[in-house]
Structure 1
Amino acid sequence: MLPDVERISVSPVFIGRGSQMAALTDALERADGGQPQVLLIGGEAGVGKSRLLEEFQAAAVVRGSTAVVGNCLEVGAEGLPYAPFAMILRRLHRALGAELEAAAVGRESSLARLLPDMGEAPPEAHDEYARARLFEHTAQLFEQLTTDRTLVLAVEDLHWSDRSTRELFAYLTRTLHSARLVLLATYRSDDLHRRHPVRPYLAELERQRTVQRLELPRLGRREVARQLTGILSPARPTAELVGQIFKRSEGNPFFVEELAVSFQQGCRTGLTETLRDLLLVRIEALPEATQTMLRLLAQGGSRVEHGLLAAVVEATGTLDEDELIDALRTAVGANIIQQTSDGDGYRFRHALVREAVFDDLMPGEVTRANRRYALALEAEPSLVAKDQRSARLAGYWYCANDAARAMPAVLNAGREARRRNAFAEQLRMLDRALELWEDVPPEVRAGLRDYDHADESYPSCSCEGGCGCEGDCGAIQLVDLFAEATVAARLSGETDRGLRYTKRALRLIDETKTPERAAWFILARARALRYDVGARPEQEMDHALRLLEGRKPSAVLSELLHRQACDGLLGVPRREHLDSARRAVEIADQVGATSLQLHAQLTLGMLHCAFGELDEGAVLLARIRERAEANGDVDLLGRVYTNLSSHHELQGRSREAAEIARTGLAMIRANGMTGYNGTILLGNLAEPLISLGELDEAEQLLAEEPDWAGQRAHRDFMHRLRGEIALLRGDVAGATEHLAEARRVGLVWQPQKYVPTALLAMRIATVNGRYAEARTELVQTLDGGRPEGIDRSWWALLAAGAAAEADARDLPTMAPGRAEVLARIRETASGLATELPLYAGWQAVLEAELARAEGTVTSAHWRRATDALLVLECPHPRALAHYRLAESLAADGDRVAAAAAASTAADLARRQGNRLLLDAVDTLTGRARLAPSSTAQAPDDETFHLTRREQDVLKLLALGRTNRQIAEELFISPKTASVHVSNILAKLDVTGRGEAAAVAHRLRLVAGTS
């Protein structure tokens, strides 16, 4: 029993109508200026017209407008005459009282036809001009009421309006030219069939220049997710729930709300009775023949070809061809169904309408109709497109509850889906096959033979009895289906489902009789567990290897060795991992496992690169990419693009990295593998874009990241990149939030992740002046050892550590331990690669930062760094080196060279989007007087004749700086600073520094003081 819960269905957050609200707000602003506005708001039932109107009216009231709404009523064919305007006047009377009565003086008899409170209306039959007076007096009333305010008047549900209401509305749109009025009308576009009187009426209204028409589209997936978050708060909807509700609701907000209620009530698949009744009421008003056709159409799928529907209808004997055409025409005219885009068939206008019709059927009706669809399709396969036949036939036999005929059809559909790389669809077919297995007669199972498995390392049965094949290894066994489903689950990102399949399969296998199969499933389980906190996949791998000790070479053994090498590459690579990769390649070659051999060679190439053997690694990577593209192996290609993009970015070739990642992301999206490796490739594209300074595109990419269940392991990567963008833009608080989230969901065992994350943490700490925290981050990372293969990240980390020590050089609290930290930085750097231009450049930056931290830095240090970085395409760390060079040159007194270096630094920082560095360059430029200051010179009588330089000194003096500190910040000598201070004291006629600071604060002589 579920506990009683409050039924909350309306999202407290207004979602997805930004452009429409902007249009309404613009109209309100024009109306405030005396230009009356008319807006027609259309959309299907439940799409949010009333909610949009409510939100706009609330905003208008806040701005001082008076907003009222009147509803058309569904009574008979055309509703009650003038009903919405009568309601509007009644509500205006309630809101304005005597003011409305005063405005109506002299017009009471006419207005009484709309609102009896105005007086007694004369008999209309004896006055041929009464209608004209009513329209004119109504317009005059609204015009007079808008003298002191803007009126927002809305007519809801215009599709139910009577002719008189429509004519009065049209009259107001044509005659009111200077009133402060916004006139709105909403209507259901799906109710406007071809002969509906409102359809031509709207077209005629829209011809007027002042009339604007807004159509509300359905919500997108992200908007549905936000709507569900608001409805279910404080609980957060899972990605699975969002996907399920978005698919069923097709983005209709009302349907989302009702499905959310179903979820709150513990029902994840059905419809609430409220929603089902709402969906069926219009269908039940149609002729019986049309309802019969719709019931058959609902069982044919999301779209049904005309020929297939006609064949099924003919088999039922309920309608002849002419009756079918009439039924279809009626349903189309009622906006229940519509022709498909190719004009070859029909679909329900909304999926939930089909679902409601389907749910209203008796079980026997469903079985019989699906059998007829299946028989019709088997008899004439050309009735549907070739690429849909197998899946459609499998679906029909499955819904017909015929396990014997459904099983071969389902397996065939699964094969077809796999050939098209539609792994999620393949998994759905395999789930059905597993569900049907026990209901399939043994003789039918025996006929299911020669299944071509997706994973070439999956071992064939040795017929030793451990697989349950009962001596017939040619037939498909239940464990075979689990193996295929495990692979499909991995490739479609359904990690948890894959674990369930391996668990069930291992219960069926006797590992002493079929050790290779047991090892295969154990390996699959280890792969799925490798990113789970607390899991020990290495123990699983060791167990699997022990099962294969002393046995002949096999694809399973090759795959185990390959996975060992992969884990080493991602963790702490050692030379033994190179040996594992080589053995995996050799064994795969011996047993003819081509795809596995290429995967192992790819890992071997990346390991060579990790150990600095770049030429050997590059040759292997180029060869693998060429073969993978030629073979069309999407699993291998996904790994190729992932590894290559990362490899190029680590070596400083960001533009090439972005190009490769972009190609890979497009490829996996086209092949339905976003749930498998979509997140990491998306990040591998965003990362070089950040390096290149293309922050807007990178930010947009990261905002598009779906919540793929199979990519949980890479969410820390996404948050770290978001944090880097935020920090570059100067949003330190946002960067801190993303850093915390990255660490909350992140992996602690992969250096490629924790080292860049530590670097981000150090940069944030340094910006905030928390130098001790930056030192702690560095020391903790160094304590973990230095794995191979990510030297770029290590160079940047060490340089940031040295820079933090340099920035904190004058802080007494940071002096203890500084020498030890700098020594560790030097020791770690001595083992890093320097062959690449990027690495050599970072080496020069580090040497300069170490010298700065020790107080021995010269402009020559930074000149070497800028020269070494000159060939790089990315702005960072070139911008940093030029900024430091400008500092050193300014301290040397070479202001011309310093200005040139500062200008270069500013240009590079601007290209990178580095707001913090750009601010630092601006500050340096002003303090070192490398360019005209942006602060205007105050008149002499307001500044006591202080020169510009003396004002700079006074500002620092007011902040409590000593003469030495003033000299360092303004790049002058302490003696010069002392002279400036003496001159300031004389000009201000004060006796000491404290009085000078007080004068500066009191008179606000210096910008930035208060």
Structure 2
Amino acid sequence: MSGRLTSPVLVGRERERAALAAALTAARSGAAVVLVGGEAGMGKTRLVREFTGGLGASARVLTGGCTDLGVDGLPFGPFVTALRRLVRELDAPPVTALLPSGGRRGLARLLPELGVADDEPEPDLGRARLFEEVLLLLEGAARQRSLVLVLEDLHWADRSTGELLTFLATNLGEPGVLILGTYRPDEIGGTHPLRPLVSRVDSVRGISLGGLDRDGVAEQLGELLAAPADEAFTERVFLRSGGNPLFVEALVTVGDAPAASLSDLLLADVDRLPDLSRQVLHAAAVAASPVGHALLAILVEMDDLAFEDALRPLVRRRFLDVVEDGYAFRRDLIREAVYGSLLPGERVRLHRACAEAITTDPALVSGDRAYAEVALHWHASGAPIRAAEAAWHAAESARRTYAYAEQHRLLDRVLRTWQRVPDLADRLGVDRGTVASLAAEAALNAGELDTGVASVTTALAEHPDPEVAAHLLRTRAAMYDRNGQDPMPDLHEAVRLLPTGADTPLRGEVLADLAIAQRHHQHDAEARTTAEDALRIGQRTGDRGVQARALITLAAADADLPTAVELFERARTAARDAGAADTQLAVAVTESNRLEAAGEHGRAEQVARSGITLARELGLTRTRGTLLAPNLSESLLSLGRWDEAEAVYREALAQSPPPLYRAYLQIIQATVDLRRGALDAATTAATQARAVMREPNRGEETCLEPDLLDCRLAQIRQDAGAVTAILDHVLTDHDLARSPRYSWPLLTTGALTLVGHHGTGALLTRMSTYADTLAVTGRLQQAHRLTFLAATRHDDTDAWAAAIEAWRDLGQPYPLAEALLHSTRAALATQHRSTAAELITEAASIAEGLGAAPLQREIQQLATRARITTNPTRPGNPAGLTTREMEVLELVVAGLSNRKIGEHLFISAKTAGVHVSNILAKLTVTTRLEAAAWAHRNQLFKTE
């Protein structure tokens, strides 16, 4: 039978095309990611191309594809191809205008068209910046018109491509971007880079292509044959093909000839090609697709006319498609079948020819593919020395583009070759220890921690020189730390190996790392000593980065807040001088945390916001910026600005932060939810956070935070038994003296819940014993101490007055309302009824403003029992305004905004706005000015 090799129309995919159209419509309101999955031959690429081909000028379409090169593939390959096309379409100047520093800090490493890339001393930070710049570029380009980014054959994606795609899928927020990917589900194993997208990312939609039904096969046959096929032939093709469109095409060609597999079907058509055309197809199958015209001509060694004659049948019959300056297989399955049919000697010869040609002229392949492809071809041709040399250069190319997973695998290949080639050090010009150190750093930066630990351990067993060993130990310590294991033994051993009298940069770096680890584990005295040594070495060597990190530790460990703030400023300056952006952000994280712990909530908020602004300027909003979100939201929570805190943590959680920082955010989320009375939501967030924060070696403070949250949940539920169990566990299993920041609120929460409950006397005595010896640093811990003392002294109204004044001075409305409530009980017990009325009225007002439903209920229950009205109307108030509304009106008359009213009354701006709206309605006026005039007419407030 004769007929068309490919159907001129796409058949049987109307529902899938409609799904793609719907995804693009949705993307115009908010970015979307769609993965089209189907086994080989199902027409994934055809579907996507038919869809994008019909968009015309309504959307800009960028396409890039993965190639079957494995570890030797170009990192970020499909993105490089697509973004390079975008730069050509938009021109470089408009593109650089969309990026911080014109893209020179990140994206220029992938796209030299943007200019010479800046040096980046912090590799992990550089990768984060690169990801954000890709995100900014896509979102910026989509503002002009919708942008469709097509990434084909993602089952062959390198690790870096998979991680960048996952980042985009979880962080794209601006409208107008649609990412379409195609992949084969049966090739996505548990460790595949695409696995997180396929199985876990909620923002990704999936389209699954199955086989055509019988009517679809009949329609496809009609298009291929240019006439309806008879029923019997249609039935045979349908049964043999299983509805796979590529099988259908192949069966039209071979008719009823027997075929054992799809490869046999595809090769049957290949066998009908002229000899020279088959020779060209064999060479193209060995070269990475797409293959340039010039490279393919060298491989087949034909004169120009013969080469062109051999190419025509391949292009005409759609074995190869013409793409830019070369050719690509129309179907990857055809390339796989042709490659699989080659004789072993033929493969080796063609791989060697590819390697030699590209080595002689790297311009034969596009972009930065030369080293990667040479490494592949030498490896496949069985030339280990040449393969190792190429892998060494390819690894450096991968490092420059932050493709650390690929760098690690290439360096691992070099190290494995070393065992067979003793003189490899002379050939590469580098010793094995250096390669092992670079491989360890690459594994660390790639997050391949278990593999990296094993590699370092193997390298250390070979007894390298002390400095190399110290470097390896420092890297392994960082891996342990990220895995939640104790890094200090490796750091101590690294310090021991380095000469005490030699103030080298490496010794300074190791000591700075050790000081941070010691502080994290609350070994404050040791941390200070180690940090002072690191600072001294940093000053002698002129290493401003080491100085900055040592100063951060010293500031965090200093009990005197003014001194700590001065040290933080010195650290900030040193980090800026060193060009260490990550360390600058670390200053903001640590200082805002230190200020919050000291009760300086407003100053902590300012520092955290400044850090987030810096992250934005550095192009790191969605990565490093999320490290500051827990600190900012915690300060807003303390200040009673719960709506703002919620907005911060929800935005940060939507950006998929690392597990520990997600846990910090969930602790705050749970605290807001429990105080508002959403106990189920609070319990869910607490459970998720607890799973991470109670892992071994997280440090005393991190372990105590879930205990404090559990205690507060039990307090809200008025579950004295649960509070008793938690406090007993804490007092037995933790050293509270190492973490007063969380120990004091634990003791306070326990005392407020347990005092007066039967059978808790012994536990309260233990708590008081601990409290007598527990350090008090700063106004916040002092407020907790005063509250604890007041709670344990029962009806001591003077003690409660001191606690109330402390919380009022700090500006923390929620614990102030709690103290007012408990002081009310003391006043009632001592027959001070008028004082009790004043106290509980203020408590009710604060709780209402915060929206603290459980606390409001507790206050109202006490007020009802005591027959006190907590929300009276002011005497002589003609409009029936409540006491809180009168307070708000007085501030409106003073000209304050909703934000300022909220800060003054410890309520959110949103709640203040609700009060203002209610006031306007009751007064039957429409503006704040009219409300102020009404107040003046009625002489509600004294004026001087």
- TM-score, length-normalised on structure 2? 0.56
Contact 2:347 2:381 in 1 (8 A): yes
Give the 3 Å change call, closer, same or farther, for CA 403–618 of structure 1 in structure 2: farther
1:752 to 701, 704, 713: 701
Q: How does 1:285-300 map to 2 (within 5 A)?
A: none
Q: Could you tell me which residue of structure 1 aligns to residue 114 of structure 2?
A: none
1:698 to 649, 661, 676: 649
Give the 3 Å change call, closer, same or farther, for CA 44–842 of structure 1 in structure 2: closer
Report the Cα distance in structure 2 between the residues aligned to 1:276 and 1:671, rounded to whole angstroms: 48
Report the Cα distance in structure 2 between the residues aligned to 1:785 and 1:379, rounded to whole angstroms: 67
Report the Cα distance in structure 2 between the residues aligned to 1:295 and 1:351, rounded to whole angstroms: 14
Larger Rg belongs to: 1
Q: Could you tell me which residue of structure 2 aligns to residue 952 of structure 1?
A: none
2:443 to 483, 489, 499: 489
> C-alpha deviations, 1:546-567, integer Å up to 9, x for none?
5457664444544443343222
> C-alpha deviations, 1:601-640, integer Å up to 9, x for none?
4244333332323344333433433443454446645654
Structure 1: give runs of 5+ residues left out of the alignment: 1-16, 25-41, 49-73, 75-156, 160-185, 200-214, 226-230, 258-272, 450-475, 934-1010
RMSD, matched Cα: 5.8
Give the 3 Å change call, closer, same or farther, for CA 217–416 of structure 1 in structure 2: closer
Indicate whether 1:904 and 2:846 are aligned. Answer: yes
Report the Cα distance in structure 1 between the residues aligned to 2:312 and 2:862, rounded to whole angstroms: 80
Contact 1:634 1:671 in 2 (8 A): no
Q: Could you tell me which residue of structure 2 aligns to residue 868 of structure 1?
A: 809
Give the 3 Å change call, closer, same or farther, for CA 719–755 of structure 1 in structure 2: same
> C-alpha deviations, 1:702-750, integer Å up to 9, x for none?
36537x7xx7x77865764564465356443554455456555524551
Report the Cα distance in structure 2 between the residues aligned to 1:668 and 1:299, rounded to whole angstroms: 43
SS in 1 for 2:656: coil
What number of residue pairs does the alignment pair up? 658
Report the Cα distance in structure 1 between the residues aligned to 2:520 and 2:572, rounded to whole angstroms: 20
Q: Could you tell me which residue of structure 2 aligns to residue 415 of structure 1?
A: 396
SS in 2 for 1:506: helix
> C-alpha deviations, 1:132-177, integer Å up to 9, x for none?
xxxxxxxxxxxxxxxxxxxxxxxxx9x9xxxxxxxxxxxxxxxxxx
> C-alpha deviations, 1:287-318, integer Å up to 9, x for none?
869998887667665x74x7x35533554358
Which residue identity lines up with residue 311 of structure 1 in the other structure?
L
Report the Cα distance in structure 2 between the residues aligned to 1:351 and 1:390, rounded to whole angstroms: 23
Q: Could you tell me which residue of structure 2 aligns to residue 973 of structure 1?
A: none
Which residue identity lines up with residue 518 of structure 1 in the other structure?
A
Which residue identity lines up with residue 930 of structure 1 in the other structure?
T
Indicate whether 1:771 and 2:724 are aligned. Answer: no
Report the Cα distance in structure 2 between the residues aligned to 1:897 and 1:386, rounded to whole angstroms: 73
Q: Could you tell me which residue of structure 2 aligns to residue 479 of structure 1?
A: 433
Q: Could you tell me which residue of structure 2 aligns to residue 821 of structure 1?
A: 767
Contact 1:645 1:660 in 2 (8 A): no
Which residue identity lines up with residue 440 of structure 2 in the other structure?
T
> C-alpha deviations, 1:861-899, integer Å up to 9, x for none?
4651453133x6xx6545655766788899844757754
Q: Could you tell me which residue of structure 1 aligns to residue 754 of structure 2?
A: 805
User: What displacement does 1:277 show?
Assistant: 8.4
Report the Cα distance in structure 2 between the residues aligned to 1:320 and 1:544, rounded to whole angstroms: 62
Give the 3 Å change call, closer, same or farther, for CA 717–276 of structure 1 in structure 2: farther
Q: How does 1:266-285 map to 2 (within 5 A)?
A: 284=266
Which residue identity lines up with residue 659 of structure 1 in the other structure?
R
Contact 1:311 1:376 in 2 (8 A): yes
Contact 2:821 2:839 in 1 (8 A): no
Contact 1:434 1:481 in 2 (8 A): yes
Give the 3 Å change call, closer, same or farther, for CA 766–553 of structure 1 in structure 2: same
Q: Could you tell me which residue of structure 2 aligns to residue 311 of structure 1?
A: 295
Which residue identity lines up with residue 848 of structure 2 in the other structure?
A
Report the Cα distance in structure 2 between the residues aligned to 1:43 and 1:418, rounded to whole angstroms: 30
Q: Could you tell me which residue of structure 1 aligns to residue 256 of structure 2?
A: none
Q: Could you tell me which residue of structure 1 aligns to residue 472 of structure 2?
A: 521
Report the Cα distance in structure 2 between the residues aligned to 1:863 and 1:921, rounded to whole angstroms: 16
Identity %: 24
Give the 3 Å change call, closer, same or farther, for CA 46–518 of structure 1 in structure 2: closer
1:431 to 407, 412, 415: 412
Contact 1:279 1:353 in 2 (8 A): no
Report the Cα distance in structure 1 between the residues aligned to 2:431 and 2:325, rounded to whole angstroms: 41
User: What displacement does 1:759 show?
Assistant: 0.8
Give the 3 Å change call, closer, same or farther, for CA 282–584 of structure 1 in structure 2: farther
Which residue identity lines up with residue 735 of structure 2 in the other structure?
G
2:565 to 614, 618, 627: 618
Report the Cα distance in structure 2 between the residues aligned to 1:861 and 1:553, rounded to whole angstroms: 52
Give the 3 Å change call, closer, same or farther, for CA 436–724 of structure 1 in structure 2: farther
Report the Cα distance in structure 1 between the residues aligned to 2:193 and 2:671, rounded to whole angstroms: 29
Q: Could you tell me which residue of structure 2 aligns to residue 189 of structure 1?
A: 47
User: What displacement does 1:757 show?
Assistant: 1.9
2:457 to 485, 503, 508: 503
Give the 3 Å change call, closer, same or farther, for CA 921–502 of structure 1 in structure 2: same
2:517 to 555, 567, 578: 567
User: What displacement does 1:499 show?
Assistant: 1.0
Give the 3 Å change call, closer, same or farther, for CA 558–924 of structure 1 in structure 2: same
Indicate whether 1:643 and 2:596 are aligned. Answer: no
Contact 2:823 2:839 in 1 (8 A): no
Give the 3 Å change call, closer, same or farther, for CA 725–581 of structure 1 in structure 2: same
Which residue identity lines up with residue 771 of structure 2 in the other structure?
I
> C-alpha deviations, 1:737-776, integer Å up to 9, x for none?
5545655552455122022122112112222333243244
SS in 1 for 2:428: coil
Report the Cα distance in structure 1 between the residues aligned to 2:712 and 2:195, rounded to whole angstroms: 36
Which residue identity lines up with residue 758 of structure 2 in the other structure?
P
Report the Cα distance in structure 2 between the residues aligned to 1:685 and 1:338, rounded to whole angstroms: 54
Contact 1:562 1:580 in 2 (8 A): yes
Q: Could you tell me which residue of structure 1 aligns to residue 609 of structure 2?
A: 659
Report the Cα distance in structure 2 between the residues aligned to 1:279 and 1:497, rounded to whole angstroms: 40
Contact 2:776 2:782 in 1 (8 A): no
- TM-score, length-normalised on structure 1? 0.53
Q: Could you tell me which residue of structure 2 aligns to residue 833 of structure 1?
A: 777
Report the Cα distance in structure 2 between the residues aligned to 1:549 and 1:834, rounded to whole angstroms: 40
2:679 to 732, 736, 758: 732
User: What displacement does 1:686 show?
Assistant: 6.5
2:730 to 767, 781, 793: 781
User: What displacement does 1:422 show?
Assistant: 4.0
> C-alpha deviations, 1:417-439, integer Å up to 9, x for none?
43444433432332232244345
Structure 2: give runs of 5+ residues left out of the alignment: 1-15, 24-32, 57-148, 155-164, 171-184, 212-239, 251-265, 874-944
Report the Cα distance in structure 1 between the residues aligned to 2:192 and 2:798, rounded to whole angstroms: 53
User: What displacement does 1:353 show?
Assistant: 9.0
Which residue identity lines up with residue 504 of structure 1 in the other structure?
T
Contact 2:492 2:514 in 1 (8 A): no
Report the Cα distance in structure 1 between the residues aligned to 2:515 and 2:52, rounded to whole angstroms: 67
Segment drifting more, 635-644 vs 283-292: 283-292
Contact 1:882 1:905 in 2 (8 A): no
Report the Cα distance in structure 2 between the residues aligned to 1:879 and 1:354, rounded to whole angstroms: 73
Report the Cα distance in structure 1 between the residues aligned to 2:352 and 2:242, rounded to whole angstroms: 29
SS in 2 for 1:447: helix
1:242 to 195, 199, 206: 195
Q: Could you tell me which residue of structure 2 aligns to residue 123 of structure 1?
A: none
Give the 3 Å change call, closer, same or farther, for CA 901–765 of structure 1 in structure 2: closer
Report the Cα distance in structure 1 between the residues aligned to 2:341 and 2:633, rounded to whole angstroms: 49
Q: Could you tell me which residue of structure 2 aligns to residue 943 of structure 1?
A: none
Which residue identity lines up with residue 316 of structure 1 in the other structure?
V
Q: Could you tell me which residue of structure 2 aligns to residue 587 of structure 1?
A: 537
Contact 2:555 2:567 in 1 (8 A): no
> C-alpha deviations, 1:222-277, integer Å up to 9, x for none?
9999xxxxx99xxx967978359789xx98665999xxxxxxxxxxxxxxx99998
